[in-house]
Chains A and B, each alone.
Chain A
Amino acid sequence: GNSVTQMEGPVTLSEEAFLTINCTYTATGYPSLFWYVQYPGEGLQLLLKATKADDKGSNKGFEATYRKETTSFHLEKGSVQVSDSAVYFCALRNTGFQKLVFGTGTRLLVSP
């Protein structure tokens, strides 16, 4: 079956620190991969996506590379800000299926 595994949180960082949130997946076929972000009291916002192996998704300083050999899609940012504090969800969507499979989410807390 399809599944997504994310690192346990919370991840606590100081402003301007480097961020990595790990995400690995299990899927048959060739899924598309996504990172969504959820700020407190809000819905989910699409942060970035990648549709095939070696694709790099990027947005607002965040990056993630689709690594088929390691079945991973780790989220990175070179310098986090307090405003990046949120919950980050890794998700996959397999070809021909409408269902998004989410990881459990990782809470990021950035202090000044």
Chain B
Amino acid sequence: DTEVTQTPKHLVMGMTNKKSLKCEQHMGHRAMYWYKQKAKKPPELMFVYSYEKLSINESVPSRFSPECPNSSLLNLHLHALQPEDSALYLCASSHPGLAGSSYEQYFGPGTRLTVT
């Protein structure tokens, strides 16, 4: 099973709302990722968690707040977003990536976020 699930599939929120995106995997992966993808562009890395600890933050604005409650779950909390934050948000997971490994990332279907 190489499935990563994400909820919700679609989300519309106002600029003053607080919402959360959820991601789950049961492949035993200990690295999980959040990406943002704008139309006709490749995914852009936002955050990486390794062994439930934040290991990479690609200078993401604080209105995006990630959380990794356990090894299977990853959340992205959203607050005071701007219309330009509208995008497809993708979650991915992999083995943590030791030196010499090629561990590929498996992606979820994404959450289509619209900020009004």
Contact = CB atoms under 8 A, between A and B. Distances in A.
A97 to B, nearest CB: 7
Q: Is the interface of A mostly helix, strand, loop or mixed?
A: loop
Given A98-B31, A104-B42, A46 B106 contact: yes
Interface string A59-85: 000000000000000000000000000
Contact of A43 (B48, B90, B96, B102): B90
Interface stretch (B14-22, B66-74, B79-87, B107-115): B107-115
Interface residues of B, number: 32
The size bracket of the interface on A is: 20 to 34
14 contacts: A34-B104, A36-B107, A42-B110, A43-B88, A43-B90, A43-B110, A44-B43, A49-B102, A93-B97, A93-B104, A96-B97, A99-B48, A100-B45, A102-B43
